[in-house]
Chains A and B, each alone.
Chain A
Amino acid sequence: MPISRFSHPTRLLATLGLIYATSALAEESPEHRQHGAHEHGHATLDFVQEGATVNLVFKTPAANIIGFEYRPQTDEQKQTLANAIMQLKQGETLFKFPADAKCVQMSVDVKSELTEEEERETHSEFTATYVFQCAQPSDLQSLQLDLFKAFPLTEEIDGQLVTDHTQSGFELSPDKPSVKF
């Protein structure tokens, strides 16, 4: 008999209290559920040039870079992660601009859930942001990616391109590692 569950008055009160508490919680913070896409082998690259400044944002699942997405357990894994971050920070070895444009990397910032304190049970990503300064931005006519060699698990990169003159998109892969603007 279902009613017997509430036969004891205190238990009924406690249950009602619990229901009240949950509904109050729901009212206070409406839940937002949204998730970004995460596809191994696939990465995105945003390229924007304004005047002499070039910004690049490279966002990739951690699996493409180090082969795993959990927090490093062994010393070997810790070393792999440290090496990958080192490599990601050397933007000039990953992105090749035409030599005439005379581009120099000014700053870089690599972010990942893997280096954060609290552990999260989710996929991990790297987001690397580069700032370049180019002495001759008018010669900036193409971009070649050497990062397919550095990170061979990366199979495909979808890009958004914005320059002073144009907006476009591009798709790069190990077979087609460069784009003309």
Chain B
Amino acid sequence: MAIVNLAIKSLFNRKTTVLLTILAIAISVCLLLGVERIRTQAKESFANTISGTDLILGARTGPIQLLLYSVFRIGNATNNISWQSYQDIANHPAVEWTVPLSLGDSHRGHRVLGTTADYFTHYRYGQKQNLTFQAGEPFNSLLDAVIGAEVAKKLGYKIGDKIVVAHGAGATSFLEHDQFPFTVTGILAPTSTPVDRTVHVSLEAIEAIHTGWASGAPPLPGAMSTSNLDPAKLQPKVITAALVGLKSKVQMFGLQRVINDYKEEPLQAIIPGVALHELWNLMSVAEQALMAISGFVVVSGLLGMLTMILASLNERRREMAILRAVGCRPAQIFLLLISEAGILALTGSALGVVTLYGLLLLVQPFLLEHYGVLISVSLLTLYELKLLAVVCAMGLVVGLIPSIRAYRMSLSDGMTLRV
């Protein structure tokens, strides 16, 4: 213990270089753990977004793309699907329920989703959890809107507030559906999924706000109002995608084949979990590359430490010689230097973890808002602890080099004056 104390005091005496070395190790550890954290948490966050849905129906495109735009609101639909085809599939004997989804409009940067009230009963997330309302209820009349928890919090909306939906998906749009202001009738409880950032309205409302827009611009002020809308005309003609639940899972692949071979329109059905698996497969190369890079950064951090200790040995020839002269055994000199390396690696790792948590707290809201990925600031996992242990062990192994050198040279080197 006395030797460790001595090592700490010796390190303290060389504050600047030691601090820089610790910083280099800390940054490399922070990067390594950060990559690991984001990798695993992003997967978990995606996997928790949809559950209990057997198939997603959409236009024929890639499975990953369909999953991303229909559930995660990332990217845009390649094509819409016609209401008639949707009805064909919905009436298939294997189908228990369907929820149509219509995307394309926005409210102050938040996507507006046209759907039916069934969405609130059939959409599930996490471990098959249902959506719950923190206030209000599902939409009943044409111009009712149900908003996600994040929308309510960020824009300060409460039940009864009027909101205007903008045309298109941009954050700032000059074309607004201001003939038809919606009334907030429900606010959903937080789910940590894209639902939190969505404004939900009925399919008919999406149809209604677009009547009179045939020219591509809003109809003249006063030309449209709820009173002169023909309810029969509000039947949607196209939707973006649909969630499908089956009576029995055994029929899943059969229905998938029927949809993928559907002659009247190029439709596609995907199984959300299978599409997610494909997405991770695609990403795994990038993941491995990132892990390899952060591994190398850790190695270079430790090499920096090696350089620092080796360089210091030269300056400390006298110190070593005096230690030997006052009765220090070579083994103790060895222990002194190896504990120096250990202390540096351990402090660097600890500082890395602290930096990581600081950064996570900083970027968490940004990631959630822009990418819909929730990175939870939780305790270190077993795997992360193992990574840290490996870094510290590597630090000790690297520390062996100067320690052995000092062990062998301390006496002869320091006593023969060659200043």
Contact = CB atoms under 8 A, between A and B. Distances in A.
A167 B263 contact: no
A112 interface: no
B277 A169 contact: yes
A34 B266 contact: yes
Q: Which of A49, A57, A162, A170 has the most CB of B within 10 A?
A: A162
Given A161-B274, A168-B274, A48 B252 contact: yes
Given A32-B263, A34-B263, A34-B266, A55 B274 contact: no
Contacts of A167: 271-274
B273 A55 contact: no
Nearest to B272: A167
Interface in A132-171: 160-162, 164, 166-171
Counting contact residues on chain B (CB < 8 A from A), the size range is: 10 to 19
B253 A55 contact: yes
B250 interface: yes
A39 interface: no
Q: Which of B250, B261, B263 has the most CB of A within 10 A?
A: B250
Contacts of B252: 48, 162
Contacts of A32: 263
A166 B277 CA distance: 11
B271 A160 contact: yes
A50 interface: yes
Contacts of B277: 168-170
Given A32-B263, A34-B263, A34-B266, A164 B274 contact: no
Interface string A36-72: 1000000000101110010101000000000000000
B278 interface: yes
B248 interface: yes
A45 B322 CA distance: 74
A168 B253 contact: no
B370 interface: no
A166 B250 CA distance: 13
B249 interface: yes
A53 B250 CA distance: 8
Contact of B253 (A57, A164, A166, A170): A57
Chain A contact surface mostly: strand
Interface string B51-90: 0001000000000000000000000000000000000000
Contacts, number: 45
Interface in B267-286: 271-274, 277-278, 281
Interface in B357-380: none
A46 B273 contact: no
A162 B271 contact: yes
B274 A50 contact: no
Contacts of B249: 48-50, 162, 164
Nearest to A170: B277
A20 B250 CA distance: 49
A57 B260 CA distance: 16
Given A162-B271, A169-B277, A50 B250 contact: yes
B53 to A, nearest CB: 9
A167 to B, nearest CB: 2
A46 B253 contact: yes
A166 B266 contact: no
B266 A169 contact: no
A35 to B, nearest CB: 11
A28 to B, nearest CB: 15
Contacts of A160: 253, 271, 274
A37 B38 CA distance: 36
Interface string B255-268: 00000010100100
A171 B278 CA distance: 10
Q: Which of B272, B273, B278 has the most CB of A within 10 A?
A: B273
Q: Which of A160, A166, A167, A168 has the most CB of B within 10 A?
A: A167
Contacts of B274: 160-162, 167-169
Q: Which 7 A-B pairs have the closest CB atoms?
A: A167-B273, A169-B277, A46-B253, A169-B274, A50-B249, A160-B274, A32-B263
29 contacts: A32-B263, A34-B263, A34-B266, A48-B249, A48-B250, A48-B253, A50-B248, A55-B250, A57-B253, A160-B253, A160-B274, A161-B274, A162-B252, A162-B253, A162-B271, A162-B273, A162-B274, A164-B249, A166-B273, A167-B271, A167-B274, A168-B274, A168-B277, A169-B273, A169-B274, A169-B278, A169-B281, A170-B277, A171-B281
